[in-house]
Chains A and B, each alone.
Chain A
Amino acid sequence: MTPQQLIDTPDLIAAGVAGDEVRRRMHGAKTTFNRVFEVPVDAPPAALPARVNAGEFRIVGKPSTLDALTAAVRATAALAGEVPVTVFSVFDLLSLPQSIRVVAAAIKEAGASALVHLPIDRVENAELVAQDVRAADLIILSIGVDDLDDNNRLALCEMAGTLQSRAGGFKAFAPLPRKMSVTKPTTGYDDVRMVALARVVAQNIESIQVDWALYGPKLAQVALTVGANDLDNVAAEDPGVLGTRRSPLEEVKRNITAASLEPAERDGLFNPR
C-alpha cells in the first residue's frame, strides 16, 4: 500500500495493518512509555508533591524571558535529581528575543538535558534550528505536529522523515496534532490513518509516539496496533485515591498488555528505567 493509498482507502483495517507491519518489524511487541512530571515555566514548585515517580521533568509553557526560563530549569533540576529535565516546546523558545542557539546553551547550562517537540508544521528552517540546538550540546527528542488538516498529512510525514535524514538525532515522531478544534476535532479514522502513515513514511525515525494524556487511553491503545510504539506523557503523580489498580502506571501497563504488547518503561532520554 502506497502512502497515498493509505490516505485514500476506505478500508481502515488495511491501513492499520500497513502501519502495524512496519512497527512489528522495527520493534516487535515492545512498547515504551514515559512518566512525565510537568512543571509550569512560570511557577515551578518549591518541593515535589508526594507520590511522584517520573522518568522526566518537563518544563511547559511559553517563557516570558530567558531569565525566567533558566530559573525554572534550575529550580526543576534541583527537584529532579538524576532524572532528565526537558523543555517543551521548541516553538515556544523561538518566541524569545535571543537566538535558539543562545537559548539552548543557557538552558543546558542551567541543567536541561533536552528539548521536546519541534512542531514540523510551525517551525520554519527546522533543520537550522536543530543544528543550532545541537551546537549547544543539546538534543531535540521529538518531532511533532500542532495543526493538521486533510491536505497536509502526507507532506508533514515526509517533512519529518526529511528532517531526520538531514539533521538527525530525533528519537520520536508524534504525528497526532496537539491542537484540536472544539467543534471539529480530528476523528478516530483521521488519527489511525495518520499514525499508520507516519510509521510507513518516516521509517528513519525510531519511534512513533502518542501523547497518553492528550489522546486518552482508548485512542492511544488503538494507535499502538496501527503503528505507534511509544506512549509519552503518562502522569508521574499518583494521588493514590483510586487504589493501586487504577494508578497511572498500572493503567498504562494494562492497556499495553491488553493490546498483546509488552510494556517497557523508559526515561525522558529514551533510556530504559
Chain B
Amino acid sequence: MKNIDEISARVREGDRIDRDEALDLYLHAPTALLGELADRVRARKHPARIVSYIIDRNVNYTNVCVARCNFCAFYRPVGSMEGYVLGFEEIFRKIDETIELGGGQLLLQGGHNPDLPLEWYEDLFRAVKARYPDFRLHALSPPEVIHITRMSRLTVPQVIERLVAAGLDSIPGGGAEILVDRVRKLLNCHNKATADEWLDVMRHAHRAGLRTTATMMYGHVESVDERLEHMFRLRDLQDEMGGFTAFITWSYQPEHTELGGFEATGLEYLHTLAIARIVLDNFDNLQASWVTQGGKVGQLSLAFGANDMGSVMIEENVVRAAGASYCMDEAEIVRNIESAGFTPKRRNMHYEILGDPVFRERDVPRMLELAVARAEGDDSRPPEIVRYAARSAQEKKLRS
C-alpha cells in the first residue's frame, strides 16, 4: 500500500493515479480527504463555480423486456398484463409538457421489447423531428442498441447510422451497471451486453460523431476493485475516443427486485463519487444522482466532485419502481445549487450553457412529484403498433 499522503499530493498536483493508488484511496482515505481531493479536481475543471443542469424528461417508451436483469424492478415480461408501449401521440404530449417547462430533450430509454423493430424507432424519431425540429433525442442505451442489432440482424454501426439518420442526437450511458463480466453474469445482464459489447457500442457511437454519457450502478454483488475496473475501462475508452460528456453513478435500489438485498449508504455514494472524480480525470463532468440519493445528499455531491445536478427529469419510472421517489423541480435544483455557493446554469446534453433558470424568466408551474409513464389502470394500446410485425408469440396471439 502506498502512503495516502503521497497519493493525495499527486492528486493535488494534477497527476493521474493508477488503479492500485485508487484502491488505496478508496479503502483508506477519510471522507473529508476524499471530498477535498475531489473538490480540487472539480475546481480545476470548473473554476467559475458554475453548476449546470438540464431540463429534460426521462421517458420509458416500454417496460416490456426480455433481458430479465435481476436488479430491475421496472420491467415486465412479454405478455404481462402490466406491460405497456407508449404511443407516438402520448410521447408527443410528453414533449409538449417538457417544452412548457423549458425543456428541449427527451431521455428516451426502455425495455428490450421484441415487438418493437428498428423501424418503430426510426418512425418515432422521424415523427418527433418532423413535429419538433429543434427538440433533441438522447436515446437508447447500448444494450438497447444491441437488442435492435439482434432483431434487425444489422451491425452496431449500421443500426447507429440508421438511428442517427432518423433523428438520434446522442446516446445515454445506461445499462453499464458494472463493466466486469463476472458481475454481469451474477446480475443476469451478461446476455443483454457484455462489458466489451457495451464499450464497443460507445466506441462506434463516438466514431459516428455522437456524444454519450457513461454510468455506473454499484452496491450489489461487485467488489470495490471491480468498481475501479469499471472506472478504468471508461477512462481508457475516453482516452481513445474522447466522446463521453459526463459520468453518472448511483447506488443499486433493491426494493421489489429479484436480487433483493439492501442499498449502499449515503457516505458510500459520496466516497464513490469522489473516487470517480479523481480517477476519471479525462471526463469533464460528473452528475449528482439526486434521484437515488435524495435532494440533500444530491446537493452534498457538489462538495464531493460533482459539477452538475443532472436533470429536472419531470418523469421517472425505473428507480421509482425500485423504491426511490425523490423529486426536484427546476426551482428546487437551482435553490440547492445556490445554497451550496455555486452559480446555476441550464445546459444541453453537450454541456453547452443555454442560460439562466427558466423559472426566473417566466412563470413555470411548481412540480412536487415526478410524473409516471402512464396513469394507473391505463392499459390502452397505441394504434400504430399494428403497423409493425409482431415477433413474440404473445403479441401475435393478442393481435389475432
Contacts and interface: CB of A to CB of B under 8 A. Distances in A.
B368 A183 contact: yes
A188 B293 CA distance: 11
Interface stretch (A103-111, A164-172, A211-219): A211-219
B335 A187 contact: yes
Interface in B285-304: 293-300, 303
Contacts of A192: 300
A190 B266 contact: no
A221 B266 contact: yes
A253 B143 CA distance: 37
B336 interface: yes
B366 interface: yes
Contacts of A13: 32, 35-36, 39, 303
Contacts of B296: 186-188, 191, 218-219
Contact of B339 (A16, A190, A216, A243): A190
B132 interface: no
B267 A188 contact: no
Nearest to B33: A13
A204 interface: no
A192 B266 CA distance: 13
B341 to A, nearest CB: 4
Nearest to A184: B335
Contacts of A258: 265, 267-268
A245 B339 contact: no
Interface string A173-186: 00000000011111
Contact of B265 (A12, A191, A221): A221
A230 interface: no
A132 interface: no
Contacts of A221: 265-267
A76 interface: no
B340 interface: yes
Contacts of B59: none
A237 interface: no
B298 A188 contact: yes
A29 to B, nearest CB: 12
Given A218-B294, A222-B267, A258-B267, A12 B340 contact: yes
A188 B366 contact: no
B31 interface: yes
B300 A10 contact: no
B368 A219 contact: no
B31 A246 contact: no
A49 B300 CA distance: 38
Contact of A218 (B35, B266, B335, B339): B266
A251 interface: yes
A153 to B, nearest CB: 13
B340 A216 contact: no
A188 B299 contact: yes
Contacts of A191: 296
B270 interface: yes
A110 to B, nearest CB: 39
Contact of B303 (A12, A20, A184, A260): A12
Interface in B266-320: 266-270, 293-300, 303
B262 A254 contact: yes
Interface in A222-266: 222, 225, 243, 245-246, 251, 254-255, 258-260
Contacts of A225: 31-32, 267
Contacts of B269: 218
A17 interface: yes
Contact of B297 (A182, A184, A218): A218
A184 B329 CA distance: 11
A10 B341 contact: yes
Contact of A246 (B262, B294, B341): B262
Nearest to B49: A10
A187 B339 contact: yes
Given A183-B366, A187-B340, A188-B299, A219 B36 contact: no
A254 B261 CA distance: 13
Contacts of A259: 31, 265, 267
A164 to B, nearest CB: 28
Which of A10, A13, A184, A217 has the most chain B CB atoms closer than 10 A to its own CB?
A: A13
A218 B298 CA distance: 10
Contacts of A217: 265-266
Contacts of A190: 339
Contacts of B341: 10
Contacts of B368: 182-183
Which of B35, B293, B298 has the most chain A CB atoms closer than 10 A to its own CB?
A: B35
A192 B299 CA distance: 11
Contacts of B336: 187-189
Contacts of A16: 32, 35
B294 A219 contact: yes
B262 A189 contact: no
Given A12-B303, A218-B296, A222-B300, A245 B340 contact: no
Contacts of A218: 265-266, 269, 293-294, 296-297
Contacts of A185: 295
Given A254-B262, A254-B265, A255-B265, A187 B299 contact: yes
Interface string B233-275: 0000000000000000000000000001110011111100000
A222 B262 contact: no
Contacts of B332: 183
Contacts of A183: 332, 366, 368
Q: Which 3 A-B pairs have the closest CB atoms?
A: A218-B266, A188-B296, A10-B341
Interface of B: 30-32, 35-36, 39, 260-262, 265-270, 293-300, 303, 332, 335-336, 339-341, 366, 368
Interface of A: 10, 12-13, 16-17, 20, 182-192, 216-219, 221-222, 225, 243, 245-246, 251, 254-255, 258-260
16 contacts: A10-B341, A12-B35, A183-B332, A187-B335, A189-B339, A218-B269, A218-B296, A219-B294, A222-B297, A222-B300, A243-B260, A245-B262, A254-B262, A254-B265, A258-B267, A260-B30
